[in-house]
Amino acid sequence: MIFRALVAAAALAVTLPAMADEVSVKMLNSGPGGMMVFDPAFVRLKPGDSIKFVPTDKGHNVETIKGMAPEGAEYVKSAVGQEAVVKFDKEGVYGFKCSPHYMMGMVALVVVGDKRDNLEAAKSVQHNKLTQKRMEPLLAQVQ
């Protein structure tokens, strides 16, 4: 009896496709991390998952930080004030900024899958002092 149930469960696990998830990240003038923030600012994903960047407050966008994306990843730059859905197929570490508020430390970090090939490269990217202060604890969450 138990054996049959286990076989059935195993067959189900194999035949069900891995479900892709979509995570919402709000873009805010003021949030848990202070002024001008992505919320959450740190997101962990499986390959194939997406993030919907929601301009809850207008005047924000999302853009790839140069040097903070896995090789072959698509460069992202959304229009200010517009919702943007970004799909993540390449494993690795992704840094994002809001173009108008990068200097104010509006950054986010996304980790996809288990590969960390570009982590050291991402860590070596230079930001201004305020942005660096926000980026460091995000990078510290990558494992």
Q: Which residues bind Cu ion (CB under 5 A)?
A: 60, 98, 101, 106
CB of 131 to Cu ion, least distance (A): 12
Q: Which is nearer to Cu ion, 8 or 85 (CB)?
A: 85
* Residue whose CB is nearest to Cu ion in the complex, by number: 98
CB of 50 to Cu ion, least distance (A): 20
CB of 106 to Cu ion, least distance (A): 5
State the number of CA atoms in the 13 A half-sphere of 69 facing the CB: 15
Strands (E), 1-62: 22-31, 34-39, 42-45, 50-54
Q: Which is nearer to Cu ion, 101 or 127 (CB)?
A: 101
Cα–Cα distance list, 102 to 13, 42, 60, 98 (Å): 43, 16, 10, 5
